[in-house]
């Protein structure tokens, strides 16, 4: 039984998740939200679910959880080169906890505002904490960056750095010890990823193929290779990583950068004659991009080190039904 002072479902929606919409014709409050893409534009649509214990730890601050729930969805729009427009939020809550709701909605809506992405509807129910967001983005018809677009002999790039989120997870799991400012840095990477929306937009008509790194760099790159029917050679020592990660043994650096997961950086391909446009896009978006290898006609993924020697790994990418 809810206590007499606790908010009901509709009061909760009204207080934490209802705001005036500007782009959409109709937002929260009716049976459906209404909005239309601008003429000539296509909608890009993606859903991501976050389950407690699976995608986040109960120790995460509600504000960061709200941020991350939307960030992982915006990252999918970024990977397609779509401009965020709107999103819906389906939420299962164990109980009405206003401290949680206030923090969660603050983090969520701050990121939404930063990207001009309106909350236009959703569903709210009682149950184990579970957050499912569907985002809608738009882009000129036919310009989406796809996994299937890579050509043989393209350069392969990754944005930002990878591996810190996995390092933070291992600290939480107790397998590694990182403290102080270093821990805060990697914890921020895990709990507050910055979706590379501006980079995705700037790479339209520049990159040939793209994906965002959620399950691990190599595993996600393999999706591009398979869908594009090409192979690749990646120099594992060129994969960008933070100073904090550089303090770890080489084997761990490689595992976390190549198969860590939860990075939400973009991996993308571009023809070699686009190299200066790629760097211009990165500069425009305010994020570094690093060339880590190249594609080839021959299928398969070859890993080499800085000296050009073959590197063997035995780690796969993250799979919810295999780990």
User: Residues in the site for ligand ADP, rule: CB under 6 A?
Assistant: 13, 17, 28-31, 89, 91, 119, 121-124
State the nearest-atom distance from the C-beta of 239 to Mg ion, in Å: 44
Can you tell me the distance from the alpha carbon of 103 to that of 11, in angstroms, rounded to the nearest whole number? 17
Can you tell me the distance from the alpha carbon of 102 to that of 27, in angstroms, rounded to the nearest whole number? 20
Q: Which is nearer to Mg ion, 113 or 123 (CB)?
A: 123
> Can you tell me whether residue 184 is helix, strand or coil?
helix
State the nearest-atom distance from the C-beta of 120 to Mg ion, in Å: 14
State the nearest-atom distance from the C-beta of 90 to ligand ADP, in Å: 7
Q: Which does 28 bind (CB under 5 to 8 A by kind): Mg ion, ligand ADP, none?
A: ligand ADP
Q: Which is nearer to Mg ion, 128 or 286 (CB)?
A: 128
Residue 43 forms beta bridges with which residues? 138
Binding mask 75-114 for Mg ion (x = CB under 5 A): ----------------------------------------
Q: Which is nearer to ligand ADP, 44 or 132 (CB)?
A: 132
Q: Which is nearer to ligand ADP, 63 or 262 (CB)?
A: 63
242: its two tokens: 């933070």
Can you tell me the distance from the alpha carbon of 264 to that of 92, in angstroms, rounded to the nearest whole number? 24
State the nearest-atom distance from the C-beta of 127 to ligand ADP, in Å: 13
For the beta carbon of residue 148, count every other beta carbon within 10 angstroms: 12
Q: Which does 104 bind (CB under 5 to 8 A by kind): ligand ADP, Mg ion, none?
A: none
Q: Which stretch binds Mg ion (CB under 5 A): 85-93, 118-126, 238-246, 297-305?
A: 118-126
Q: Which does 135 bind (CB under 5 to 8 A by kind): Mg ion, ligand ADP, none?
A: none
Is 123 a binding residue for Mg ion by CB under 5 A? The answer is yes
Can you tell me the distance from the alpha carbon of 193 to that of 183, in angstroms, rounded to the nearest whole number? 15
Could you tell me the sign of the dihedral formed by the alpha carbons of 80, 81, 85, 89, in that order? positive
State the nearest-atom distance from the C-beta of 27 to Mg ion, in Å: 15
Contact 186, 164 (CB under 8 A): yes
Can you tell me the distance from the alpha carbon of 156 to that of 209, in angstroms, rounded to the nearest whole number? 9
State the nearest-atom distance from the C-beta of 132 to ligand ADP, in Å: 10
Residue whose C-alpha is closest to residue 50's, from 42, 58, 38, 40 = 58
Can you tell me the distance from the alpha carbon of 72 to that of 263, in angstroms, rounded to the nearest whole number? 9
Residues that bind Mg ion (CB under 5 A): 123
């Amino acid at each position: 039984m809810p206590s007499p002072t606790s908010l009901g479902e509709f009061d909760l929606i009204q207080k934490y998740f209802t705001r005036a919409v500007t782009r959409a014709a109709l937002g929260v409050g009716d049976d459906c939200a209404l909005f239309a893409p601008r003429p000539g534009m296509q909608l890009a649509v993606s859903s991501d679910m976050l389950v407690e214990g699976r995608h986040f730890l109960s120790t995460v601050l509600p504000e960061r959880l709200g941020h991350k729930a939307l960030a992982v969805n915006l990252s999918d729009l970024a990977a397609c080169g779509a401009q965020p427009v709107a999103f819906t939020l389906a939420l299962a809550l164990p109980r009405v906890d206003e401290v949680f709701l206030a923090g969660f909605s603050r983090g969520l809506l701050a990121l939404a505002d930063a990207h001009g992405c309106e909350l236009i509807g959703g569903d709210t129910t009682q149950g184990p904490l579970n957050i499912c967001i569907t985002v809608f983005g738009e882009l000129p018809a036919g310009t989406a960056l796809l996994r299937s677009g890579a050509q043989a002999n393209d350069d392969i790039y990754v944005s930002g750095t990878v591996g810190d989120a996995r390092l933070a997870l291992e600290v939480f799991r107790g397998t590694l010890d990182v403290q102080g400012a270093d821990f805060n840095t990697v914890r921020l990477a895990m709990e507050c990823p910055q979706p590379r929306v501006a980079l995705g937009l700037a790479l339209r008509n520049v990159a040939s193929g793209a994906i965002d790194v959620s399950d691990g760099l190599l595993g996600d790159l393999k999706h591009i290779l398979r869908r594009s029917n090409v192979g690749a050679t990646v120099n594992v020592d060129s994969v960008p990583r933070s100073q904090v990660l550089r303090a770890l043994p080489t084997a761990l650096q490689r595992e976390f950068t190549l198969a860590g997961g939860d990075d939400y950086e973009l991996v993308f391909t571009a023809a070699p004659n686009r190299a200066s446009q790629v760097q211009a896009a990165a500069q425009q978006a305010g994020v570094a991009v690093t060339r880590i290898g190249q594609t080839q006609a021959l299928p398969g993924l070859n890993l080499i080190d800085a000296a050009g020697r073959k590197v063997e790994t035995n780690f796969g990418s993250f799979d919810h039904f295999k780990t």
